[in-house]
Amino acid sequence: TQHDLCQALGYQPDRAVLYRVLRALLREETLLIESYGFRRKPTKYRKAGAELSTGSAGGLESS
């Protein structure tokens, strides 16, 4: 989740900066979109080369 990402970073980045970095990682194919968000369901990202997750613990989410 976004909360998990902020915990890993040690701070809460500006929302615009966070999404700019996510877009750059998607362009570089470092991250892939596992599932697209809709309404209150966040988009789930995964590391390129990683297996698809079956639960919420395996993906990086952004809300």
Residues 32-49: b if buried by 16+ CB within 10 A, e if exposed: bebeeeeeeebbbbbeee
pTM above 0.75, yes or no: no
pLDDT, tens only, 18-52: 889 989 999 999 999 989 989 998 888 888 887 66
pLDDT, greater one: 40 or 55: 40
Going by C-alpha positions, the residue among 4, 9, 58, 15 that lies closest to residue 35 is: 58
